[in-house]
Amino acid sequence: MALARFGTDGVRGVANDELTAELALAIGRATARVLPAPAFLVGRDTRRSGPLLQAALSAGLATEGADVIDLGVLPTPGVATVAARRRLPGVVISASHNPFGDNGIKLFSSLGTKLPVALEADVEREIASILEDAERPPRRPTGYGVGRISADPGAADLYRDELVGATDGRTLEGLHVVVDCANGAASAIAPGVLAALGATVTSLHDAPDGTNINEKCGSTHPEELARTVAAAGADLGLALDGDADRVIAVDGEGRIVDGDRLLGLFALDMRQRGLLADDTVVITVMTNLGFHIAMRRAGVGVHQTPVGDRHVLAALDAHGWSLGGEQSGHIIFRDLATTGDGVLSGLLLLDLVVRAGPPLARLAAAVMDRLPQVLRNVAVADRDALTRAEPVWAAVRAVEAELGDRGRVLLRPSGTEALVRVMVEAETEQAALEAAERLVSIVVATLGVP
C-alpha cells in the first residue's frame, strides 16, 4: 500500500486505488494519536467515494478512542468555521477541484487552520508505523473507551449564519447574480445565503449526483457561467469549486475575473476603508506581475509566499495582516475566516460592487493591467527530480535573461499530482507561448514522461 504524503492541500489520489479505505483508516488512527482531542469534526464534499472514505477515517478515529462528529456534506471553509467555533480539530474528505474519481483528506486544527507542515510530517510517520505493524496492532480501547460517531445537523446553519453576518447588516438588494456551485459541497448553501442577503440568484450546477462534481463546471470551467450571465443580463457570476474554498467571477459582459483581479479589488477597497492591516496584501509566486505593478502604483505593499493557502495564512498570522490569496481564487479575509472561502469571497465581492456603484467589468478593468501569462502542466516521470535538473534550470536562466524586468518564469512541482508546472509571463502572448514551449520541451527531455 502506498504511504500517505501530504501535499499543498492534504493527501489526494484516485479513490479506492491510491486513496483506499485501508489508508483512510490508518490516517484516522494516526490523526487521533498525533492530535489528541476529545472529538473530531468530519465533513465531505459530494463525491461518490466520500461516504466510503469518511466511514473508514471515522472508524480509525473511533478505534483510537476519539469521538467523531459527522458534519455530512459541508464546504471545506464550513468545516474550518465549525472547528474554530467549537475548538475541535476537523477533517475534510475532498479533492477540491479535481475530477470526481479522485478524493482527498485534509486536516484542520482546533483553530480552524490547516495543520503546520511539521505536524503533518508527524502524522505521516505515524501512518507508516501503523501500516508496517498492521499484523501486530497495539492494544486498543474497549467498552467505554471506544469512540462514538454521531451527526451534527446544526453545523450547516452555524456556517450559514457566519456568512450572512459578514456584510455587517448591508444587503445585496438590486443585484442579479448567477452562481455555479460545481455540483459540489456548496450546492445547498451558496444560493440560499446570497438570496438571504437580498440578491436575485440564478443557480447553475447545484444538483450533485456523486459523479458530476466539477464536470465542465465550477471555477475551472466557467464557460457556461459566462454564457449564462451574458444571456440573462445578470450583473455578474460566481464560480465555486467542488469544496467551495475558491471562487472565480464573471462580469456582466461574460468576461472572467480571476483571483488576481479579485484580490486587487479587495485590497484597494479595504485600504480605502482602513481595513487593510499595514496596507499590505499577501500573494503567492503565481500572482501575475501586473498585480505587483498595480499595487506598487497604489501604495499597497505586497508580500510573496510559495503556492498554497497554508503559506498565505502563515504570513498573515505572522505579521498580523488581514488579506491574502491566490490567482486560483483562494482568498483569505483573516478577520473573518481561517482559510480560503469561495462563498464568503463571492458575497463580499457583491457587497463591494453594491457600495462602489460601477459594474464589475469597469472595476476589474481598472484595478490592474494583466501581463500575458502561459501556464503548462507537464506530466513527468519524477516531479521530485526537478530540483536537481540542471539542464532545466539553465534554460530557465536563459529565458529570464531574455525577458528582463517585463516578464518572469516560474517552475515548480505540483504538490498533489505527478506534474511540473511551467509558468511564463511576458509583454506579449506570443513571447510567453514560445518561451513556455521551449521550457516544456526541456522538462520532458530531462525528467521523462510517465
Distance from C-alpha of 417 to C-alpha of 96, rounded to nearest angstrom: 13
Distance from C-alpha of 354 to C-alpha of 174, rounded to nearest angstrom: 8
Please give the grid coordinates belonging to residue 205: 450546477
Are 423 and 410 contacting, i.e. CB atoms less than 8 angstroms apart? yes
Distance from C-alpha of 288 to C-alpha of 295, rounded to nearest angstrom: 11
For residue 422, what are the β-bridge partners? 376, 411
Distance from C-alpha of 334 to C-alpha of 234, rounded to nearest angstrom: 30
Measuring CA to CA, which residue among 79, 162, 102 is closest to residue 348?
A: 162
Q: How many helices (H) and strands (E) does the chain have?
A: 14, 18
96 is catalytic: yes
> Measuring CA to CA, how many Å separate 97 from each of 47, 104, 211, 301, 450?
11, 11, 13, 30, 22
For residue 442, count other CB atoms closer than 10 A to its CB.
21
Measuring CA to CA, which residue among 216, 283, 226 is closest to residue 253?
A: 226
Active-site residue identified among 96, 109, 328, 345 = 96
DSSP 206: -
Distance from C-alpha of 325 to C-alpha of 397, rounded to nearest angstrom: 28
Are 11 and 96 contacting, i.e. CB atoms less than 8 angstroms apart? no
Distance from C-alpha of 201 to C-alpha of 198, rounded to nearest angstrom: 9
CA angle 244, 30, 143 (to 5 degrees): 110
* Beta-sheet strands, E only, within 217-264: 236-240, 247-251, 256-257
Q: Rg of the Cα trace of the chain?
A: 22
Active site residues: 96
